[in-house]
Amino acid sequence: MSWTDERIATLTKMWEGGSTASQIADELGGVSRNAVIGKAHRLGLRARPSPVKPNDDKPEAKDAPAAAAPAKPAARKPAPVATPAPPPAPAARPDPAAEADRPAGRSDTPSQPMPNPVSHQRIVSVGPGGFLRQGPGDQQAPIPPAPPRRLVPAKPSPEIAGKTSLLDLSDKLCRWPMGHPGEADFHFCGEAVNPGFPYCVEHCGRAYQAQLPRGQRRPPPPLPFGGPRVR
């Protein structure tokens, strides 16, 4: 397998989206987890919570910096090269620049068909309500809402009028979330449930989907990544 533009794009999106190298690997198919990691690094996509080497940098203070070089594993690295040239490396490098300059190179032809984001069913990473599932290490804003200073009887906003709110839910009404929590018009489906399920028939179709065996996932997947929120 070779790294085509599309495969690289998938890799990039999934990597930045927080998918693990393993997930990316068997999503792409034909490549190993190592291959994905190797490629990701070659692409310059690095920096993401690695289990190893959290990088503990507290060098100077009063220690001689010179004696820190040959620490331990000489078994693999011969490298007898005498290169005592420590470049000052003055330029600070802002990382975000690397990913911002991509629009030109893309093959975004108008013939690209991706008209129906609703019908995609990537089970791995999009949850009900359209949230992108991420690893625990990837949470960015742990504290979204500033708590109100005074509790007030939650006046129903105009947007929610007639909608099924949390308090309206019963085991007869579909609990499928519409919109996103925190938004003014967040509510629930409210249709009559599919008996025995928490959702109506339509949303049961969204909630319960067959999981294909690992190796058998569809090879050319419509990407969930970059795709709009499903609603």
Partner DNA sequence: CCCTGATTCGC
Partner DNA sequence: GCGAATCAGG
Which of 75, 141 has the CB closer to DNA? 75
Which of 2, 116 has the CB closer to DNA? 2
Which helix (H) or strand (E) covers residue 187, if one does? strand 187-188
Q: Is 133 in the site for DNA (CB under 7 A)?
A: no
Which of 40, 189 has the CB closer to DNA? 40
Could you tell me which of 95, 128, 110, 125 has the C-alpha nearest to residue 226? 125
Applying CB under 7 A, which of residues 10, 12, 23, 125 lies at the interface with DNA?
23
Q: Is 2 in the site for DNA (CB under 7 A)?
A: yes
Which of 3, 197 has the CB closer to DNA? 3
Q: Is 87 in the site for DNA (CB under 7 A)?
A: no
Applying CB under 7 A, which of residues 9, 13, 16, 20 lies at the interface with DNA?
20
CA distance 125 to 132: 6
CA distance 205 to 67: 63
CA distance 193 to 203: 9
Per CB under 7 A, the segment of 27-35, 57-65, 198-206, 210-218 that binds DNA is 27-35
